[in-house]
């Protein structure tokens, strides 16, 4: 084993592998081909293909891709330069198919042109037999080491993807537990955050968001109230109306939640931060914490605002009975253009009235609704 320029051992490819390499010889002179075939066979190479007609080369390569091409330059029909141009996709960096030009053209211009078009080496005719074999072995060895490096890179990339997937799953699990921890401060069922996530994803899908965005909203929406972890039970569990000062503290859960989630590098945490901060903004600009209006409110916040209120209305709370889906939809429709984005309201209505059949089916699964529980009167809300 030799030593390379940086002092590390140089890797070599086994002779048996080199000898099995498929070598394609292209030369319009049959005697030249016979000479190269005889030389290569004596050296132990057995997988040899040749042609005197360069027009056959694309089909030969398609039938069995070579590991090395020996190419003459000046041939009838298709010359070597034209063939190099045709083979450009095959000799790119991703494949590393080496081409050794063997030509009687000894001009510097021909050599420079061939090398600039992708040939890896150049030999003049008549050639030295020992030199030809050395050049061939070097090019083949470089090809196999390149392919091995590429394979190792693919293995590393697969490992990185697997590790990333594991980290994302761990992140989602932590986020889910954080969302449930926040919910148990304010709700007794432990299911509000999950339902808001599922309904938000349905609304996002109806609104035409990409599947990736839909999944981000599904996973991030449950964290909309995570800032309530910072609030005292005196506020969260107070049976009566909150005082103005208590109301202000309660509203701070939006900024506290965003602060808790801020600085995240993953798209999921960034989405969750936006939702936590903006899900109490109003379409008419009368919401909090920043008084944003209309489309200045990020769409995920506008979506979760509708999903959060709908879920709260159709479930019992200490201070209210559970509303029917029809009643909840009527209230939300009344607030269209005021509290809520009209487009999101229309999306919810399409889920309830069955005009979006698949969405309606998923909504019934999430809320365990029966046909009689969604009255046909929701059509009148359009």
Is residue 229 situated within a structural domain?
yes
Residue 94 pLDDT > 90, yes or no?
no
pLDDT computed for residue 348 by the predictor: 95
DSSP states of 331-374: HHHHTBTTTB-HHHHHHHHHHHHSSSHHHHHHHHHHHT--GGGS
Mean pLDDT of 83-91: 82
Q: Do residues 204 and 276 both lie within one domain?
A: yes
**Residue 9 is assigned to a structural domain of this protein:** no
User: How far is the C-alpha of 126 from the C-alpha of 31, rounded, in Å?
Assistant: 12
- Residue 150 within a domain: yes
Note the pLDDT tens digit of each residue in 144-171: 888 888 888 889 989 988 887 887 777 7
Write down the pLDDT at residue 358.
Answer: 87
Residues 204 and 133 in one domain: no
CA-to-CA dists, residue 188 to 54, 157, 378, angstroms: 78, 44, 30
pLDDT attached to residue 234:
75
Domain that holds residue 150: 15-155
Is residue 78 one of the residues assigned to a domain?
yes
**C-alpha to C-alpha distance for 218 and 208, rounded to whole angstroms:** 14
Q: pTM of the prediction?
A: 0.58
Lowest mean pLDDT among 78-82, 263-267, 332-336: 263-267
In the predicted model, is pLDDT for residue 372 greater than 70?
A: no
Mean pLDDT of the chain: 85
Using alpha carbons, select from 347, 346, 350, 339 the residue that is nearest to residue 294: 339
**pLDDT at residue 379, as a whole number:** 42
Indicate if 151 and 188 belong to the same structural domain: no
Number of domains the chain is built from: 2
Question: At how many degrees (to 10) do helices 192-206 and 211-220 cross?
Answer: 160
Same-domain check for residues 352 and 223: yes
Q: Is the pLDDT of residue 336 over 90?
A: yes
Q: Strand, coil or helix: what is 26?
A: strand
Q: Is the pLDDT of residue 3 over 80?
A: no
Structure confidence at residue 56 (pLDDT) = 92
Together in a domain, 195 and 103: no
Give the residue from 155, 175, 209 where a domain finishes: 155
- Identify whether residues 44 and 134 lie together within a single domain: yes
Q: What is the pLDDT of residue 8?
A: 43
The Cα 201–Cα 277 span in angstroms is 18
pLDDT of residue 189 exceeding 60, the answer is no
- In this structure, are 65 and 206 located in the same domain? no
Q: 151 and 240: one domain?
A: no
pLDDT bracket for residue 9 (50, 70, 90): very low
- Average the pLDDT over 110-117 and give the result: 91
Question: Is 170 inside a domain boundary?
Answer: no
Using the 8-state DSSP alphabet, how is residue 162 labeled?
H
Q: Report whether pLDDT(11) > 60.
A: no
| Cα 276–Cα 282–Cα 288 angle in degrees, nearest 5 | 55
C-alpha span between 353 and 169 (Å, rounded): 35
Answer whether residue 177 is part of any domain: no
Q: Are residues 74 and 219 in the same domain?
A: no
| Among 155, 171, 203, residue at a domain's last position | 155
| Structure confidence at residue 362 (pLDDT) | 87
């Amino acid at each position: 084993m030799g030593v390379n320029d940086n002092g590390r051992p140089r890797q070599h490819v086994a002779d048996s592998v080199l000898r099995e390499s498929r070598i394609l010889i292209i030369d319009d002179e049959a005697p030249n081909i016979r000479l190269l075939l005889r030389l290569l066979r004596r050296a132990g190479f057995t997988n040899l293909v040749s042609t005197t007609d360069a027009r056959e080369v694309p089909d030969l390569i398609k039938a069995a891709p070579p590991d090395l091409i020996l190419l003459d330059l000046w041939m009838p029909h298709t010359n070597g330069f034209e063939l190099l141009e045709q083979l450009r996709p095959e000799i790119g960096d991703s494949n590393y198919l080496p081409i050794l030009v063997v030509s009687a053209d000894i001009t510097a211009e021909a050599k420079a042109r061939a090398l600039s078009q992708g040939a890896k080496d150049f030999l003049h005719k008549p050639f030295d037999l020992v030199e030809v074999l050395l050049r061939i072995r070097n090019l083949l060895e470089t090809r196999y080491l390149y392919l091995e490096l590429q394979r190792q890179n693919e293995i590393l990339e697969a490992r990185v993807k697997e590790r990333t997937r594991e980290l994302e799953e761990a992140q989602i699990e932590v986020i889910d537990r954080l969302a449930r921890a926040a919910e148990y401060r304010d709700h007794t069922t432990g299911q509000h955050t999950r339902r808001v996530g599922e309904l938000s994803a349905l609304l996002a899908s109806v609104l035409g968001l990409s599947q990736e965005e839909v999944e981000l909203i599904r996973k991030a929406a449950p964290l909309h109230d995570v800032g309530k972890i910072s609030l005292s039970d005196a506020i969260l569990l107070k049976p009566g109306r909150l005082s103005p000062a208590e109301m202000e503290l309660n509203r701070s859960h939006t900024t506290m939640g965003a602060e808790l989630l801020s600085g995240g590098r993953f798209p999921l945490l960034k989405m969750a931060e936006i939702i936590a901060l903006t899900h109490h903004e109003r379409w008419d600009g009368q919401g909090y914490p920043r008084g944003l209006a209309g489309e200045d409110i990020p769409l995920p916040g506008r979506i979760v605002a509708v999903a959060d209120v709908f879920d709260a209305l159709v479930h019992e709370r200490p201070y209210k009975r559970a509303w029917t889906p029809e009643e909840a939809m009527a209230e939300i429709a009344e607030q269209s253009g005021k509290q809520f984005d009209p487009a999101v309201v229309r999306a919810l209505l399409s889920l309830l009235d069955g005009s979006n059949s698949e969405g309606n089916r998923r909504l019934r699964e999430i809320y365990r609704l029966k046909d009689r529980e969604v009255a046909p009167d929701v059509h009148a809300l359009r």
